[in-house]
Amino acid sequence: MENDKNILEVRNLKINFNTYAGTVKAIRDVSFDLRKGETLAIVGESGSGKTVTTRSIMGLNSPNAVIDGGTIMFKNQDLLKKTRKQMDEIRGNDIAEIFQDPMTSLDPTMKIGKQIAEPLIIHKGMKREKAYAQALEMMKLVGIENAEQRINNYPHQFSGGMRQRIVIAIALVNYPEILIADEPTTALDVTIQAQILDLMKELQAKINTSIIFITHDLGVVAGMADRVAVMYAGKIVEYGTVDEIFYNPKHPYTWGLLNSMPTMDTTGTELPSIPGTPPDLLDPPKGDAFAARNKYALEIDTKQEPPFFKVSDTHYAATWLLDPRAPKMTPPEQIIERQKHYAKLTHKTIDQHKDTHVEEQEEQL
Ligand SMILES: Nc1ncnc2c1ncn2[C@@H]1O[C@H](COP(=O)(O)OP(=O)(O)OP(=O)(O)O)[C@@H](O)[C@H]1O
């Protein structure tokens, strides 16, 4: 590992899909780190590559996926070089996941006690009795009342929120080092959603798991994430701490996304969407893939891909607008308005909003 604070290092990841129409370039040179104990949110429109990125980490991409390059380092080993059997082991022990719909991860024909105890028996070689005792503890930890009786119930005997608690119990029973949560609360109503998120945070603090959190919900990002990576058309276009992304976003795509993302308390209201559609990944455009939808686009955007420009030690954005020779640009009015809203969500003041120094770059405009 390049840095011992990291639990995972993704470098130059490229994933293609072979289809009848041609090669879909779904992940186009993605690099990021996951630090020990942190929550990293990956945000982006549908099709931007969030799920393919996390599926690659789990070794669970579809059979038509082709690794076109890169490494995914975990404990000094490249996960992309592991066999299917080795990945099964890693998924059982070190990297767990929770999905949007708990019913897809639960076996409807198996008592929940068995479903929670099984990873301990299979992956840790634990004796049945001990595994069931630990399963019971886990049920109590995730807040299932009358756990002693309910251990013998089937999934359909629980509400949606309770089922998601069971999924969390299964995912965390082996104390994984990484938890991948792909829209884990989207299917739940707002009150239950908040309870599950609180539970995840509480358990994260106890177990010290690192979380990769995929969500469309800005309220969730504000409440859960330490850092945020913004994806567009198979690339990360901006990343920074949650405050940097909310209070000082630099990429016009991040502006559009922030403006169009629902928050927990805007449910039901009309949100502006980003005009246009993402590019065809069978034939991604030259230059900045967002240029065609970007009203702030410069001429160079259609010709040359922007490098990452440094905004702070923790904040980078790949937009030519940050080149010192680019015209000065202030974010649109709505983004400034939204900053006040985030302040409410994150219970912070907005004095962090200050213009940051942009480092000199070599590239010519
Ligand atoms: N098996 C596949 N075959 C062909 N293309 C695929 C396959 N799986 C994913 N893709 C393509 O890869 C790109 C990235 O998809 P991905 O599911 O990662 O997006 P996402 O950001 O997770 O979207 P969403 O928010 O809708 O889940 C999309 O263009 C998608 O159509």
pLDDT in tens, 79-137: 999 999 999 999 988 999 998 777 778 999 999 999 999 989 988 899 999 999 999 99
Average pLDDT over residues 156-180: 92
> Measured from the CA of 47, which atom of ligand 1 is nearest?
19
For the chain, how far is it from start to end, CA to CA, in angstroms? Answer: 35
Q: How far is the CA of 277 from the centre of ligand 1 (A)?
A: 15
Cα separation, 52 vs 77, whole angstroms? 20
Residue 53 Cα to ligand 1 midpoint, Å, equals 9
In a domain, 40, yes or no: yes
In a domain, 20, yes or no: yes
Cα-flanking dihedrals φ and ψ of residue 173, to 5°? -60, -30
Percentage above 90 pLDDT, the chain:
64
Distance 126 CA to ligand 1 centre (A): 38
Return the H-helix or E-strand segment holding 10. Answer: strand 6-19
Task: Report pLDDT digits (tens) over 22-49.
Answer: 999 999 999 999 999 999 999 999 999 9
DSSP per position, 237-286: EEEEEHHHHHHS--SHHHHHHHHH---TT-TTS--PPPSS-PPPTTSPPS
**ipTM for the whole predicted complex goes beyond 0.95:** yes
Closest by Cα among 235, 267, 280, 270 to 254: 235
Residue closest via CA to ligand 1's atom 30 equals: 47
Question: Is any ligand 1 atom within 6 A of the Cβ of residue 63?
Answer: no
Pocket test for ligand 1, best of 52, 221, 257, 260 (most atoms within 8 A of CB): 52
**17 part of a folded domain:** yes
The span from the CA of 190 to the CA of 179, in Å, is 22
Residue 52 near ligand 1, beta carbon < 6 Å: yes
Ligand 1 centre to CA of 113 (Å) is 34
Instruction: Provide the mean pLDDT of the chain.
Output: 88
Distance 286 CA to ligand 1 centre (A): 20
Whether 135 maps to a domain, the answer reads yes
Looking at residue 355, what is its pLDDT? 40
pLDDT band of 272, cuts 50, 70, 90:
confident
Judged against a pLDDT cut of 90, whether residue 332 lies above it is answered with: no
- pLDDT on residue 308: 97
The CATH number given to whatever domain includes residue 35 is 3.40.50.300
What mean pLDDT is predicted for residues 332-343?
Answer: 75
> Domain of 136?
6-181
In sequence order, the 6+-apart residues with CB closer than 8 A to the CB of 341 are: 263
Q: Is the CB of 43 under 6 A from ligand 1?
A: no
The verdict on residue 109 lying in a domain is yes
Answer whether 277 contacts ligand 1 (Cβ < 6 A): no
pLDDT of residue 260: 80
Q: Tell how far the Cα of 313 is from the centroid of ligand 1, in angstroms.
A: 31
Residue at 195 is within a domain: no
Cα separations in angstroms, 332 against 66, 250, 258, 338, 355: 39, 11, 11, 10, 15
User: Ligand 1 mean position to 82 CA, how many Å?
Assistant: 23
- CB atoms near residue 11 (< 10 Å): 16
Does 191 sit in the ligand 1 pocket, CB within 6 Å? no
Given the CA of residue 281, which atom of ligand 1 is nearest to it? 29
CA distances from 258 to 145, 179, 206, 321 (A): 38, 25, 31, 18
Q: In the chain, which ranges are continuous DSSP H helix?
A: 50-58, 84-93, 102-105, 112-124, 128-141, 147-150, 160-172, 190-207, 218-224, 242-247, 252-260, 333-346
Specify the DSSP class assigned to residue 351.
G
Ligand 1 binding pocket includes 24 (Cβ within 6 Å):
yes
Confidence of residue 364 (pLDDT cuts 50, 70, 90): very low
CA of 51 to the centre of ligand 1 (A): 7
Residue nearest to atom 12 of ligand 1 (CA): 26
45 found inside a domain: yes
Domain total for the chain? 1
